[in-house]
Every structure is written in C-alpha cells, then in structure tokens.
A and B are shown apart, each in its own frame.
Chain A
C-alpha cells in the first residue's frame, strides 16, 4: 500500500491575454484566469491509477488561489482521499522556492512513500517545484516521467528523452517524481460528482506562515515579447483566407 502525495497548483490560462503588474516585475494577478497546471493534472491521474492498481491513499496539496477549492473537489471526485489547502500570503504570487518549502512542510507530516507533481508549470521562473521539494524532504527526484510502477521499496519510472526514447529508472522510495504525462489521459468527472464532493469532502486548511522565498530569480523586468518579424497576416473572411492560402501553396509549388 502506497501513501501518495500529489502537489498541484493553478497557473495562468494562456488563452487569455496576460498583463504585467504595475511593479513591472510580475504578472498582474488581478485579471488572470487560473486553471490547473496541466502536468499536475497528469500527476493526479497517475496517482489515482497507482491507487486503483495496488491500493493506497492519495492526498492532494494545493496552495490557496481563485479556483483552488473547485480543483481540489474535482480531484476528490476522481478518487483522491484527502485534500489539503495551504493558506498564506499568496495574492501577489509566490516563487517556487517559497511554494516548495510550504509543500515540503505539509508533505513531511504525511510521511509519503511517493510524491507526484507536474514536471513543469507555465509560470515557473525559478525551476519547477518537484526537485526543490525533493531536496527539502531529503528524497530523490526524477522528472520527465510518463509511467510509474511501484514494487516494494522501489519504483520504476519511465523517463522521457527526446524523440520518444524512454529510460527506465529505478528509484528507491521515498521519492519525488516530476510527471510529464500519466499512463492514461486525465479522466473527466461529471459536474454532479464534483458538486457531491463539495458537500461531503472536507478541505483541510493549513496556514503556512511567513515563507522563505530565497533561491528565486532576481527579476528586473517582465514584458510581453515583441517579435522582430511577425507573420504576414491574411485578412478577410474564411473564403478569402482559403483563396489566398491556395495561391500561396501554388507559388510554393505545392499544388
């Protein structure tokens, strides 16, 4: 029976327009729409697959944010047993070193065999949380994982290299794995099941106190990139764009 902890966070939805805060050194959090980090979503799926396969308990830890409640209830509806929300001074965003220390503090109490988290998040600027948490917990870390099997004191993790090459790594437990993809795509749960969880499941709230953010990047400035050269944009309705595309294909000798 494996005691699994999943670390999850919300990240900016990149489909929305992103703005820089007045400080000029951070994202403007006020208008951001947040969604679960997709790799944390894969980590969640992997944890639940492991539990279904060989038993155990899955605890999810997430920092407070707009939408963190829904995220946790959704994960509970998928099969997680325990939900923990870290509360602190997160409104203006925190770096991953601070978050990793908070995660490690909460995870330590749970004495996990295995900690799973997303290999990366789109707003990482000081590395991803996985390796930092591993070191703060005194565990090994292996990332870029797309498949995990536990056997006794060790876990065999499928580590991805470019071009589809896989390295099977044997890791002594306890360990932290950075998940790139679960063995199966993240499952969907019906909204009704999530609503039911909102009534029955409890979120254990834990204050993290003052966070130590040392080890983060010393950001001088954040900005929206301006490309030196941008695409030539094809204007007009779909018929006009289609006609223009066919011309371009012809000029290039493709049709």
Chain B
C-alpha cells in the first residue's frame, strides 16, 4: 500500500460534478496527513478533456466504450482492477447516485473497509455526519489496506478542488466483461411552472407541515412575501408538490435572499441545496434540529401556532 489518496471523479453528460472538486479538496487535506499525493481517477470514453481543471498531482484516465455513460457494473469492474493494483491509502467516492453504487460493492468485493458520509478531514481522520446531521463520527484510516470513503458536501467548496493548470494525465488499461447493467435512456426533468432557483423568497415546508391541506398556509405566506413555496424531499415523495419544487441533493440548489424553513430538520441532503441562501430563518419545535446550526435566525416554536399571527402581522405591515 502507498500513501496516495485516490479520488474517483464523477461526471455526468460531459460535466464534472461539484462533488468531484469537493473530494479533491478533502483529499488534499488527507494527503497532507498521510504524506502521499492526490490522484484523480477519471473513467469515461473520449473524456480525457474533463481532467483539465482537476486539482490533483496527477490523473489516471481509463477509457472504454462501456464507460461512456455511468453504469454501476462497468465502473466497479474498472475500479476493482485499478485499486487492487495501485493500493492507495484511501479512495474517495461521492456519496451520490454514482459513488454510492460502486463504493459498497468494491468494499465487499475487495474486502476493504468503507466509511460513508465523510464531510471533513481532521488530523488524518475522517469525520462523518450521520443521523440527519445530529451525530458526528470520527474514523481512522486502516494501516494495512485501502480505506474506501464516500464524501458529502459541506466541508469544502468546489473552488478549492479546481486548478488553473492542467494536471499530468496517464492512461491505464481497463477491461470490462459483459456488463449486467446498461443505460437505456435519460429522461429529462419535467418542465416546471416556476424555477425555484431564480426566486428571491422561498417558503420551504418539511415533514412538519403534516398534511397536504396545510400547504395552503405556506402559500399564503409566500403570497404576502412575494415568494414561492418549495419543499424537502418527504413532502415531494408524498406527492404534495412536484419534483421541481424540491430543494437538496436530489432536487435543486437555491440561493434566495430569504429561505424560511417551516418544519424542516436540516438533514445534510437538504442543507446541501440551500446552505448558501443569504438569510435562513428556521421554525422548528426541536431545539436540537440541525437546521438551527446553519440558520441566521431561528425560533423553537410550533409552526401552526406561528403562522396565523405571522400572516396577520404581515397583512398589517
């Protein structure tokens, strides 16, 4: 085993995903502790150009026609060979639709330890955020074998993992046998009535809103404040609002002037889509709700007690 930190670069439809740069920044921190280098691993087909701004000491590029689009099977096959051969100290994957499909399979296939939801590096250890952001766990790297890590946003900015000069790229041999998973087609997101990422004021509702009928209250607030209603995932999964109104990891990223969060706990998957809002106001009955850690203002209060007085006060304002 060597002391290098590998970063499996994620890209989709010709674009490097932000999580890749975030991972490179985290890997830089970890490589400083281990004394190794940051090595970006890029898989694709005619995709070498994507390496141009990766902040890595060098890039390993694997090209294969089966890697033209992400599929879990082809990626795991390509990476299993590489990781066994190169044996880096750690390998980073996004805690994403791409990385989470392969990291666990590789852990089981190669018998390597896996640490998930890592948000920060501290003194050569991995800091993970679990239980919806309510608990942190610090884990050590293995001294004997490669530690696999999935990374979530929050600890590093994408810009920290971007470079002005192109890193050196070397290619490696990829062999992929009869993949059992293939991409049939992409289905574009449904066309939305409003683009929540372009709004100044967002009234965001979470599971605390309890019923579809109660959305009406949020609508009234939105009207008075000149904004629109958006939501956390559970509200959308209930079918109460369309996917286009979802904020977070699987939804949209938003940066409004005001983000008023009603009954949202502030799980990392939600926060990653709204942490950069100018002003966050959180209404939640749980004093330990992680949303209060990132909000500008907070009130520990029942949202159903607050909305009527707030509507009245706004009407009088």
Of B33-41, B113-121, B157-165, the one contacting chain A is B113-121
Q: Is the CB of B238 within 8 A of A132?
A: no
Partner of B116, one of A18, A126, A229: A126
Bound CA span A16–B232, Å = 20
Cβ of B295 within 8 Å of any chain A Cβ, yes or no, is yes
A218 closest partner in B (C-beta): B140
Instruction: Using known A-B contacts A167-B183, A167-B186, A231-B292, determine if residue A215 contacts B108 with beta carbons closer than 8 Å.
Output: yes
Partner of A130, one of B104, B186, B299: B104
Q: Which of A18, A141, A219 has most B Cβ within 10 Å?
A: A141
B137 closest partner in A (C-beta): A222
A-B contact count (CB 8 A): 283
Cβ of B217 within 8 Å of any chain A Cβ, yes or no, is no
In the assembled complex, the CB of B89 is this many whole angstroms from the nearest CB of chain A, namely 14
Q: Is the CB of B299 within 8 A of A241?
A: yes
Instruction: Using known A-B contacts A217-B139, A223-B135, determine if residue A144 contacts B97 with beta carbons closer than 8 Å.
Output: yes
A5-47 interface mask toward B, CB cutoff 8 Å, 1 = contact, 0 = none? 0000000101101101000000100000000001000100000
Cβ of B288 within 8 Å of any chain A Cβ, yes or no, is yes
In the assembled complex, the CB of A224 is this many whole angstroms from the nearest CB of chain B, namely 6
Partner of A164, one of B140, B150, B189, B225: B189
Q: Is the CB of B114 within 8 A of A126?
A: yes
A185-224 interface mask toward B, CB cutoff 8 Å, 1 = contact, 0 = none? 1000000000000000000000000000011111111111
Could you tell me which residues of chain A, from 156 to 182, have a CB within 8 Å of some CB in chain B?
Answer: 156, 158-172, 175, 178, 180-181
Bound CA span A132–B101, Å = 10
In the assembled complex, the CB of A231 is this many whole angstroms from the nearest CB of chain B, namely 3
Bound CA span A238–B301, Å = 7
Bound CA span A170–B184, Å = 6
Cβ of A134 within 8 Å of any chain B Cβ, yes or no, is yes
Q: Is the CB of A219 within 8 A of B225?
A: no
Of A63-71, A77-85, A247-255, the one contacting chain B is A247-255
Instruction: Using known A-B contacts A161-B12, A169-B182, determine if residue A242 contacts B104 with beta carbons closer than 8 Å.
Output: no
Q: Is the CB of B180 within 8 A of A124?
A: no
Residues of chain B having any CB pair with chain A under 8 Å: 12, 17, 69-73, 96-97, 100-105, 107-109, 111-117, 125-126, 128-142, 150, 180-190, 200-201, 224-226, 234, 237-239, 243-244, 246, 249-252, 257-258, 265, 267, 279-282, 286, 288, 290, 292-302, 305-306, 309-310, 312-314, 317
Q: Which 6 A-B pairs have the closest CB atoms?
A: A131-B104, A164-B189, A135-B108, A231-B298, A227-B293, A231-B295
Q: Can you pick out 10 interface pairs between chain A and chain B where the beta carbons lie within 8 Å of each other?
A: A97-B108, A123-B130, A141-B101, A170-B181, A215-B113, A220-B139, A222-B138, A224-B136, A230-B292, A252-B258
